[in-house]
Structure 1
Amino acid sequence: MADNQEPGQLIIIGGAEEKDGDCKVLREFVRRAGGTKARIIIMTAATELPREVGEDYTKIFERLGTEDVRIIDTVTRDDASSSTYLEAVGKATGIFFTGGDQSRITSIIKDTELDTLIHKRYAEGAVIAGTSAGAAVMPDVMIVEGDSKTNPRAEVVEMGPGMGFLPGIVIDQHFSQRGRLGRLIAALAQQPAVLGFGIDEDTAIVVNQNVIEVVGSGSVTIVDVAEITHSNVDNLLKDEPMAICGAKLHILPDGYRYDLKNRKPILERIIQPLAAA
């Protein structure tokens, strides 16, 4: 990356984003990826219905004005070395990971030529987005699976290697809809990460260097465990509940921002202009 070149942005979506009407979250991805001049790649590795899902997103992105949309369906790790796919990603301004099973993304793409190239394009300014499973893979350590609507316990959540676009962070999606606060706290308690982002459906965080902006109809729950005053994690036996004291909790709706470097909300809310009819 050149000295004066800024890295790209991340758009991490909590799943179930609106696909009809205004499509606020997906519209934001298209806009930041270059608008009508964007070159968008749809990564379908997570889903078992790649053709159907890929075509659905293609129609949406084309309806929003982007003419150059391509689907990359990596079924095996060998596919991640395809010269055709590598050429397409090398020209992309926006790369979108669909939902499905996050383990499929890491098992097929992580540590391949395609993975290296996607990170290179991000460093060069491309926008990387993911919804649901595509959101889960963004950190260096991701939530693989876990129980929802439960109190924090060590066995509630299984962690695994993510794609490493947003290191030191834990992401959970479908957050308030599936009652995943306990799961997010359990994940944070097991990792060196001190910040967890729980992203509601039809809601995204836009990560632009050290500033995070919330976009969408729901909210983002931020859990900061950097300055906890007590935890019983080191002494827990199986099935015993966690105790976490002194954690910080922030809930931010559309237009609010968060300072990632200093770990605090930016309270001057951004008022988004109305989309043209």
Structure 2
Amino acid sequence: MQEPKGTLIALGGGDDDGLISLIRSEICSTDSHIEVITTATLEPMESGQAYKEAFEELGCNSVRFMHIDEENEPDKPQNLERIKQAEVIFFTGGNQLRLKEFLAGSKLHHLMQQRFQHEEITIAGTSAGAAAMSNRMIYEGYGSYSLMKGEVKTTDGLSFINNLFIDTHFTERGRFGRLAHAVTKRPEFVGIGLGEETGIIIKSANHVEVFGTGVVTIMDGSKVRYTNIPDVKEGDPIAIENLTMHLLVEGHEYCLTDRTFRPLSQQKRSADAATAK
């Protein structure tokens, strides 16, 4: 299967001015069509208008927002036409289960996936909008309870990329346990924990680069030698041996295909900066 031509950008939540500035400065021009999807939030008008104004303050002049829920079905002809024109699709925060319930499996969703696979489109999101990007997403597991068997729940996501768990508000809400639990149960998945005001750019479904002020946590369960998860009963604490973890900050990269960590070379950073101008 060919590598997708699209780019994913995911933010861990919190203040998203840095994400909006990144999209404007490195991804799109003032005339690019930006579509904000407000399905995850329970305050769609307020959220959509706020993002529209934030992009417009940076000079973007073609920004619209779209709400899909039980009263606004996704596959209206005007929605499909707008997504055909979009160069950036931005998913707001809220509750990621709403994205699965009201958007996943629709014609609109399939159109987004097809465009991401075959065109140079950008899919961006913050908080819930970031957590839903992969083919599986974590939606439950809190504090110390997340280290008890059965307390971490996952479900289908939007499948712009496969075999990732993207968890948000990671350090601020103590989500280390649930990501460790998730990748140990599904070692074919890489876990990515995003702190607030910190995010990742994923190109070619492989190269993960960091932006923002905080830390990105990478968890790899592929080298786990032992876990008691298959043997203990629901509610019992779990044991894991040899879980691999990396901490990335801006200027570093993680490659998903070979699961390697490296600092970005000065030459590469300079080339990227030149390309963005």
The TM-score normalised by the length of structure 1 is 0.90
The structure 1 residue matched to 2:29, chosen from 9, 23, 35, is: 35
- 1:13 corresponds in structure 2 to 11
Instruction: Give the secondary-structure state (helix, strand or coil) at the position aligned to 1:79.
Output: coil
For the structure 1 residues 6 and 107, does the alpha-carbon distance in structure 2 shift closer, same or farther, using more than 3 Å as the test?
closer
Percent sequence identity is 33
- Is 2:79 the counterpart of 1:93? no
- Is 2:95 the counterpart of 1:114? no
Matches within 5 A, 1:70-219: 70-76=64-70, 79-123=73-117, 124-150=119-145, 152-209=147-204, 210-219=206-215
CA distance in 2, matches of 1:219, 1:192: 22
- Is 2:234 the counterpart of 1:241? no
- 2:20 corresponds in structure 1 to 26
Instruction: Give the secondary-structure state (helix, strand or coil) at the position aligned to 1:233.
Output: coil
Instruction: Give the secondary-structure state (helix, strand or coil) at the position aligned to 1:17.
Output: coil
Cα-Cα RMSD:
2.0
Between stretches 29-38 and 239-248, larger displacement belongs to 29-38
- 1:227 corresponds in structure 2 to 223
Instruction: Give the secondary-structure state (helix, strand or coil) at the position aligned to 1:53.
Output: helix
Structure 2 gaps, min length 5: none
1:193-239, CA deviations, whole angstroms, 9 ceiling, x for partnerless residues? Answer: 33100000011110001211001111100001111111111101122
Structure 1 position 152, deviation (Å): 1.9
- 2:263 corresponds in structure 1 to 267
Q: What one-letter code is carried by the residue in structure 1 that aligns with 2:101? A: S
The TM-score normalised by the length of structure 2 is 0.90
CA distance in 2, matches of 1:47, 1:6: 28
Structure 1 gaps, min length 5: none
Q: Is the 8 A contact 1:150 1:180 kept in 2?
A: no
Q: What is the number of equivalent residue pairs in this alignment?
A: 267
Q: Is the 8 A contact 1:17 1:203 kept in 2?
A: no
Instruction: Give the secondary-structure state (helix, strand or coil) at the position aligned to 2:193.
Output: strand
Q: Is the 8 A contact 1:12 1:206 kept in 2?
A: yes
Structure 1 position 190, deviation (Å): 2.9
- 2:53 corresponds in structure 1 to 59
Instruction: Give the secondary-structure state (helix, strand or coil) at the position aligned to 1:155.
Output: coil
Structure 1 position 77, deviation (Å): 7.6
1:36-91, CA deviations, whole angstroms, 9 ceiling, x for partnerless residues? Answer: 23210000000010000001111111112211001111123862111111111100
Q: Is the 8 A contact 2:33 2:63 kept in 1?
A: yes
Q: What one-letter code is carried by the residue in structure 2 that aligns with 1:158? A: K
Structure 1 position 35, deviation (Å): 2.6
CA distance in 2, matches of 1:131, 1:268: 24
Q: What one-letter code is carried by the residue in structure 2 that aligns with 1:71? A: F
CA distance in 2, matches of 1:144, 1:249: 21
1:158-203, CA deviations, whole angstroms, 9 ceiling, x for partnerless residues? Answer: 1111111121111110000111100111122333533100000011
Stretches of 4+ aligned residues off by more than 3 angstroms? 269-273
CA distance in 2, matches of 1:91, 1:61: 17
